[in-house]
Structure 1
Amino acid sequence: MALSQNAELLSDFWLSQFLGRLHPMLVHFPIALLVFAAFLELHTLKNFHQPLRKAIGLLVTFGVLSAVISAIFGLLLATNEATSGSTLDIHKFLGFGSAVFGIFLLFFSKNAIEKGDSRSIRTYRAFLFLTSIGVGFAGHFGASLTHGEDYLTEVLPGNSETSAPPSLTIDLATFSSEISPDQEIQLVTNVRSVFAHNCYKCHSGAKIEGELRLDEKEFVFAGGESGPILEPGNPEKSELIRRISLSKNHKDVMPEKGNLLSKDEIRLLTLWVEKGAPWPDGVEQQSVYRVAALAPRKPELPTPKSGLQNPIDLWVNQYFEENQLSWGEQIDERTFIRRAYLDIIGLLPSPEDLKALEGDSRPNKRSILIQSLLERKDDYTQHWLTFWNDALRNDYTGTGYITKGRYAITDWLYTSIRENKPYDQFVKELLNPDEKSKGFIEGIRWRGTVNASQRTEMQAAQNVGQVILGLNLKCASCHDSFISDWKLEESYAFANIFADTTLEVSRCEKPTGVMAKTEILWEELGEIDSLAPKAEKLRQLSEQLVQPANGRMYRTIVNRVWKQLMGRGIVEPVDEMDNEPWSQDLLDWLAVDFVENGYDLKRLVYQITTSRIYQTQVIKVASPDQLLGENFKFQGVIQRRITAEQFADAVGKIAAPLFDSVEVKFRPYELIPEARPNLSYTRASLVANNEFLKALGRPNREIVSTSRDSQASLLQALELSNGEKLNKALAKGGEKWAEAYSNPEEFTGQIYQNAFLRKPNSKELELAKKTFGAKAEPDEIQDFLWAIFLSPEFQLIY
């Protein structure tokens, strides 16, 4: 109480208000000063002690001080103006985070100048670049608060206010003074779509704020705690129209959370009220969400084209022609072999591998190479083990293993991947498991009391839905979903298949007294005997879910593999298979072809990687958001960052192993004698999770993880700059290379060949000579390796 009173007094004090309003002016100082300091620092990479050092120090000092002052004034501004919202929260987090980083930056700057060793200099530079990036992003979100979230993007092509949002499927200009019954249905269907996408989170059966519900006709017209929200025929007197038309910082604006309605959406609702708010009977039964077909479909292949033998390329070519897009250039042998090795077995190719490919005169040599990689059973398995461990939340240590509330499936999983078990059989053994494969549907038995939506039976329903069916049941595990048509009762009916006894339905964690039915999510797939014991229910589920009639299951897996190899799914996100694919024909054809050819995952990998489109130049995107946009156009393979495991394996090959024997939790040769590794180091996929792997993106695997962020993060930058594990490997690598080669020019060439499959160019070689002199010391080679491993050429699959 006292705290809130003090805040109120502070907000009423004129000086506090005045200082707060200086924030927008002050915030430009740290952005300009620190970014300019970082720019100057790039010119000192070869020699830290340069005349620029004093100027950089002054810029850093004043930049950090202004960042701290700006953060304080910003807090005053937010308090005085009573601003709130997620954008402000992000702005505050980045602003205060950058200020804190800046304080550390001052310390490390002084430390680097005094000590002058490579480690302290690297630490200082890491904090300088991270602080500069932080204040830049803080400024971006500050601009979004001031000018709107679309301040930058609204001027880009395709973002004009005349383009209708995804929730609108009608042209408002076609509605005259008198509208037909069909137009009434079209109008209210689009109105319900706007409500569903913007309002259901707070105003539906799942959550009711202000006693207002917008998910059913009777509730819309009944209004909320303040009375009716609309007056049919009179939008000017309708509270709904008034609120959605307010500016974003107004206390009455709706939606108060998230993005405001677009101009087209506001026009739609206004037109609907103006026309008398028609709502014909029967509209409630129509889904406002896109629902993908369940049944398989195999469209006829496009007409063959010269030079396009792979069916995938025929579909891609048809898509390109329809969208007026051009084929990218084919990649050279060096780029191809590196991409194929990393994508199929997760390892870097050797210079000898490249030389062999370049010397091969056979016209189908790339297809032969891909087949040879797929035949390297254990290399293939140890790479794809990471993919499946993430998806099936299988790990070697973690929550539940100590208390026996969780079971690993590693032995079964490794053998299944290595044998290339048909995918239908793979899924059947997950759903109707033996002791070795039961860990997936058994989930995690958390200690203590858990929410009803997290009991193991519901975990099984959620995880099977997400991984195998590309379906999100998490919202519908607590209440009726407001992002799809799935209902709470349907989730419980599916979860009941995995239960020993009949489950009682709980809505928002409160028992309802209603006992769940026992049903598959789609009645077309058959029935489950609700009176049968659990083992029999699982057997029935395993048989019915994998039948070819379940086209959704096979679209889901081909979409996942496509994303793994191409960087973006045909449908995105890959767990939302009701979303629009960029090519429905390609997705449908691939899924049926997969079924007709024995559910063969290796064949699917071969089919994709031997396509012409896989072997074109990468497409670079500035932000992952571009891959999720409604206006996404497929043009080819998306440039990706290598995974934590791929990075660790590459460092182990070129420098020294990162992991010791204690961290190895799974040894394949104990299961399969011929799986004994032929490498001098242990693959990262086989070791327990640790701070290094987590920093580089490996999830903790207590929840399903079907995608990893390919963007660099602050945590990654810190780990790669100052992490102990990488530093030790680099130190050993420096000693190894110093011992093997006395001539700096020779070992420079060898390192470039191993890391990049190319010789250093004249500029790179000249720089190495200047850096090392006549003989390189191990610590100098260590720094050189660090620079190699942090370069984009090493970290990206291009």
Structure 2
Amino acid sequence: MAAGGGAQEKNPAPDYTRDILPIFKTHCFSCHSGDSARADLRLDTKAGIEKGGASGPLVKPGDPKASLLYRRITSDVDGAVMPMGFAPLSKEKIDAIAAWIAAGAKLTGSGAASKHWAYEKPVKTKPRVIPHDWWAYYPIDALTQEVQLKHGVRHSPWADKTTLIRRVTFDLTGLPPTADEVQNFLNDNSRSAYEKVIDRLLASPAYGERMAAWWLDLARYADSNGYEKDANRTMWPYRDWVINAFNKDMPFDQFTVEQIAGDLLPAATRDQIVATGFHRNTMINEEGGVDQGEQRWLTLVDRVSTTGTVWLATTIGCAQCHDHKYDPVTNDDFYRMLAFWESAEEPTLDLAPQVVKDLRAQLAAATGERDKTKEKTPERDAAQKRVDDIYKTLVAYPDYGTTLVMKEKVWETPKTNVRIKGTYLAVGKPVTAETPGFLPPRPKPTPVNRLGLARWLVSKDNPLTARVTVNRIWEQAFGVGLVKTSDDFGTQGERPEQQRLLDWLAVTFMEEGWSFKKLWKWIVGSGTYQQSSVCSTELREKDPENRLLARGPRFRLSAEAIRDNALAVSGLLSRKVGGPSVMPDQPPGVWKTPYSGEAWNTSQGEDRYRRSVYTWWKRSSTYPAFMTFDATSRETCTAKRVRTNTPLQALVLLNDDQMLAAAVRLGQVMKQKGIERGFVQVLARQPNSAETRALVKVYQDAMARYLAKPEQATKFLGREKGSSADPVDAAWAVTAQVLLNLDETITKE
């Protein structure tokens, strides 16, 4: 109804990109797109729709009934109603196509997909303020409320303070709040209490570690080469660079440039060169008989696909063999992108400081001087003493190691050859490096190399990068992005109902210096984020997936956060930041492979309980507890983990050695300070009387069992080195296991 109560507006003509293209995409593209389109009819390009197919023109603008398209979807022509072999189109979709034809069947742009919403520059629109509604004065909340009111739902009440601090602490640090942090927040009744919590969490070193765990999936970071031999590699300096970059709140445009082309920056620092390890995270095949030229080419293919996924949420890799079937990415676009990396060398960077390099040179010179004579003489003795002195000085320094980086062949113009049908040996025409033609061109002047590519990726004229990035952070907070298909913003992806919110976030993100910390503060500071996650009957019926954002987020923690949470609440977690990857407990024999003599040497001391982001990541043998909770092998770029619920997960929580260690330590806390203390440490709230009674019964039953059969206590606790075989300790550990295995414990409410 019109706002002023006047006559209802006539239905506007259907928009091709918004209303018709999704119908073609869902029901027609499988047969009528790409080079192998049936009946010589392509519906994925403007030219194809205008040309028609073997049966003649497809549409007669202004006359649906005279149009072949309309007749084929409404009546039996040549023995079949389209789409052939599938259910007929719904009346609503048929009516939309008829209305589009009646309005002139207008196609905008040079290709049907070229005006896809995601390829148009985001526009920051002013939210509609609803008078006398305090909720609508915060931009994020006003924009979410627009959509909620359209669907006849209202936002939920505020989450209680205990739930809120646990939620935001997990989101910003990947760790639970301590009991003292919870109590301080509950005691602070100032208007700025929540904002102070946010600022404290964003300033914590744990923030960078939490963000790195997310980014390293995109970067396909691992400590091994992959493939069958899967030998170890040194990449942890890149991981530490990522952690430090997030903690410093490095702007995302700079974060991008340094990873794509840090070596090409003027007077590039060592850290900027280490950042180029992003594209050295590709797998390396060391098997006998491998064609090294083809192996390098496969590496370049991976870099193109990964860049497309990470910054553009576009499946550019689908154009390796032919033009993209659904999106306007041509085969030439793919190889022009590949050419940016064709001119890059792949050196190993020595991480030692200059003083160590100088000592190495002095040692080599002194050794050469000593070896000039083999006879024992005063001169040789003096030379040997000098060798010994230099060596003693040198070995006092730590082993700084090396890492994999990139370096440009500055004397070469980035170029390559198209591979016919994507086959390495089928060399086609030459192409030079350039960005995809369906997006705005590189900003001028920028060089035709990786640095120019990086500048283009974060250009404010690029319609994708900011949208893709803010959508992924929203996904981290709410469990699903504003665009559900966070790895695909193309025509096969979801069109967001909350596009005004997405674009507001994207433009504001760029305007405010590409700051992740500011972005997080806007999101977690919104009323939308602070809602209760309790789902009413109405919302369960109208919006079971919470796409309307009328309640707060609730979903299971990530694999890393589940382990870190158990170690943190038990008091075992080490807060040491950075350094080589560690090997916490895992079941014996997991690493036994035919071609590798490498062993899993369980770390000792605090390294056994480092944060999960520092765990050794072997591609052919992902850390078992992580794999069970849906972590990836990182053989390829992963934009979004699948979230599953399986019986194996409960078994890991009960039987994994790290979880047992946490249960034993937490049991000791409860032995000394009581069940309530352990409950508060795990769940950040006080137990009710029923919960307390249930835990007391668990303890009493376990105590009776172990007193009757003390050998079971010995067997249970014997797996954890240094623990006693006392039935009392075993009973407390079992009680702690129950707490650590609760759904509430592993869920962000």
Sort the TM-score into its range (normalised by shorter chain). Answer: 0.5 to 0.7
- 1:410 corresponds, among 239, 249, 254, to 239
- The alignment-based identity, stated in percent, is 19
CA distance in structure 1 between the aligned counterparts of 2:186 and 2:631, rounded to whole angstroms:
35
- 1:396 corresponds, among 216, 219, 223, to 223
More divergent stretch after superposition (214-223 vs 238-247): 238-247
Instruction: Name the structure 2 match of 1:569.
Output: 481
Contact 2:471/2:481 (CA < 8 Å) preserved in 1?
yes
Q: Deviation digits for residues 653-682 of structure 1, max 9, x if unmatched?
A: 344759999x99438xxxxxxxxx999931
| Paired residues for 1:191-210 under 5 Å | 194-207=23-36
CA distance in structure 1 between the aligned counterparts of 2:525 and 2:497, rounded to whole angstroms:
21
| Paired residues for 1:768-779 under 5 Å | 768-773=695-700, 776=703, 777=727, 778-779=729-730
Q: Provide structure 1 residue ranges, at least 5 long, that are not aligned to the other structure.
A: 1-169, 175-182, 225-230, 248-252, 668-676
CA displacement at 1:709 relative to structure 2: 2.6
- 1:647 corresponds, among 546, 562, 570, to 562
CA distance in structure 1 between the aligned counterparts of 2:195 and 2:245, rounded to whole angstroms:
24
- 2:113 corresponds, among 287, 291, 294, to 287
Contact 2:675/2:695 (CA < 8 Å) preserved in 1?
yes
- Residue identity in the other structure for 2:124: K
SS of 1:759's partner is coil
Tell whether 2:259 aligns with 1:430: yes
Instruction: Name the structure 1 match of 2:615.
Output: 687
Instruction: Name the structure 1 match of 2:417.
Output: 504
CA displacement at 1:190 relative to structure 2: 7.6
Instruction: Name the structure 1 match of 2:347.
Output: none
SS of 1:565's partner is helix
| Paired residues for 1:331-342 under 5 Å | 331-342=159-170
SS of 2:419's partner is strand
CA displacement at 1:364 relative to structure 2: 1.2
CA distance in structure 2 between the aligned counterparts of 1:265 and 1:319, rounded to whole angstroms:
22
Q: Deviation digits for residues 436-471 of structure 1, max 9, x if unmatched?
A: 122323452543369899733332222222111222
- 2:650 corresponds, among 715, 720, 726, to 720
Contact 2:219/2:281 (CA < 8 Å) preserved in 1?
no
Q: Deviation digits for residues 602-641 of structure 1, max 9, x if unmatched?
A: 1111121111211111265999999999x94332433111
- CA 1:333 to 1:634, structure 2 compared with 1: closer, same or farther past 3 Å? closer
Instruction: Name the structure 1 match of 2:495.
Output: 580
Contact 1:505/1:514 (CA < 8 Å) preserved in 2?
yes
CA distance in structure 2 between the aligned counterparts of 1:499 and 1:625, rounded to whole angstroms:
53
The TM-score with structure 1 as length reference comes to: 0.63
SS of 1:780's partner is helix
SS of 2:418's partner is strand
More divergent stretch after superposition (423-432 vs 309-318): 309-318
- Residue identity in the other structure for 1:287: A
Instruction: Name the structure 1 match of 2:199.
Output: 371
Instruction: Name the structure 2 match of 1:330.
Output: 158
- CA 1:779 to 1:621, structure 2 compared with 1: closer, same or farther past 3 Å? farther
Contact 1:199/1:255 (CA < 8 Å) preserved in 2?
no
SS of 2:745's partner is helix
Aligned residue pair count: 583
- CA 1:398 to 1:404, structure 2 compared with 1: closer, same or farther past 3 Å? closer
Instruction: Name the structure 1 match of 2:317.
Output: 474
CA distance in structure 1 between the aligned counterparts of 2:663 and 2:246, rounded to whole angstroms:
36
CA displacement at 1:505 relative to structure 2: 2.0
More divergent stretch after superposition (379-388 vs 404-413): 404-413
Contact 1:341/1:348 (CA < 8 Å) preserved in 2?
yes
- 1:750 corresponds, among 677, 684, 687, to 677
Contact 2:122/2:503 (CA < 8 Å) preserved in 1?
yes
CA displacement at 1:508 relative to structure 2: 3.2
Instruction: Name the structure 1 match of 2:360.
Output: none
If each structure's helix is expressed as a fraction of its own residues, which one has the higher value? 1
| Paired residues for 1:619-658 under 5 Å | 632-655=547-570
Q: Deviation digits for residues 121-162 of structure 1, max 9, x if unmatched?
A: xxxxxxxxxxxxxxxxxxxxxxxxxxxxxxxxxxxxxxxxxx
Higher relative contact order (CA 8 A, sep 6+): 2
- CA 1:452 to 1:476, structure 2 compared with 1: closer, same or farther past 3 Å? farther
SS of 1:455's partner is helix
CA distance in structure 2 between the aligned counterparts of 1:426 and 1:470, rounded to whole angstroms:
17
CA displacement at 1:774 relative to structure 2: 9.3
Contact 1:566/1:638 (CA < 8 Å) preserved in 2?
yes
Instruction: Name the structure 2 match of 1:526.
Output: 442
SS of 2:625's partner is helix
SS of 2:53's partner is helix
- CA 1:411 to 1:649, structure 2 compared with 1: closer, same or farther past 3 Å? closer
Tell whether 2:744 aligns with 1:788: no
Contact 2:415/2:430 (CA < 8 Å) preserved in 1?
yes
- Residue identity in the other structure for 1:557: T
SS of 2:481's partner is coil
- CA 1:758 to 1:728, structure 2 compared with 1: closer, same or farther past 3 Å? same
Contact 1:641/1:711 (CA < 8 Å) preserved in 2?
no
- Residue identity in the other structure for 1:610: G
CA displacement at 1:758 relative to structure 2: 2.4
The TM-score with structure 2 as length reference comes to: 0.66
CA displacement at 1:424 relative to structure 2: 1.1
CA distance in structure 2 between the aligned counterparts of 1:282 and 1:763, rounded to whole angstroms:
64
Instruction: Name the structure 2 match of 1:765.
Output: 692
- Residue identity in the other structure for 1:524: P
CA displacement at 1:538 relative to structure 2: 1.3
CA distance in structure 1 between the aligned counterparts of 2:92 and 2:297, rounded to whole angstroms:
37
CA distance in structure 2 between the aligned counterparts of 1:771 and 1:571, rounded to whole angstroms:
44
- CA 1:330 to 1:741, structure 2 compared with 1: closer, same or farther past 3 Å? closer
SS of 1:708's partner is coil
More divergent stretch after superposition (468-477 vs 349-358): 468-477
Instruction: Name the structure 2 match of 1:494.
Output: 337
Contact 1:391/1:706 (CA < 8 Å) preserved in 2?
yes
CA distance in structure 2 between the aligned counterparts of 1:621 and 1:397, rounded to whole angstroms:
47
Instruction: Name the structure 2 match of 1:118.
Output: none
- CA 1:636 to 1:467, structure 2 compared with 1: closer, same or farther past 3 Å? farther
CA displacement at 1:365 relative to structure 2: 0.3
Q: Provide structure 2 residue ranges, at least 5 long, that are not aligned to the other structure.
A: 1-9, 57-64, 264-272, 344-413, 583-604, 618-622, 704-726
- 1:537 corresponds, among 435, 440, 449, to 449
Contact 1:555/1:591 (CA < 8 Å) preserved in 2?
yes
SS of 1:588's partner is helix
CA distance in structure 1 between the aligned counterparts of 2:69 and 2:308, rounded to whole angstroms:
43
Q: Deviation digits for residues 314-336 of structure 1, max 9, x if unmatched?
A: 33344434443312100111101
CA distance in structure 2 between the aligned counterparts of 1:621 and 1:563, rounded to whole angstroms:
22
| Paired residues for 1:294-309 under 5 Å | 294-303=120-129, 306=134
Instruction: Name the structure 2 match of 1:149.
Output: none
Instruction: Name the structure 1 match of 2:631.
Output: 698
CA displacement at 1:589 relative to structure 2: 2.2
CA displacement at 1:596 relative to structure 2: 2.2
Tell whether 2:54 aligns with 1:222: yes
CA displacement at 1:428 relative to structure 2: 0.9
Contact 1:411/1:436 (CA < 8 Å) preserved in 2?
no
CA distance in structure 1 between the aligned counterparts of 2:540 and 2:313, rounded to whole angstroms:
20
- 2:277 corresponds, among 413, 416, 439, to 439
Tell whether 2:516 aligns with 1:592: no
Contact 1:645/1:684 (CA < 8 Å) preserved in 2?
yes
SS of 1:513's partner is strand
CA displacement at 1:649 relative to structure 2: 0.9
- Residue identity in the other structure for 1:718: L
Contact 1:734/1:780 (CA < 8 Å) preserved in 2?
no
SS of 1:516's partner is strand
Q: Deviation digits for residues 531-583 of structure 1, max 9, x if unmatched?
A: x7xxx511222233323233432222222212211222222212233543233
SS of 2:449's partner is helix
CA distance in structure 1 between the aligned counterparts of 2:314 and 2:220, rounded to whole angstroms:
17
| Paired residues for 1:731-750 under 5 Å | 731-737=660-666, 739=668, 742=671, 747-750=674-677
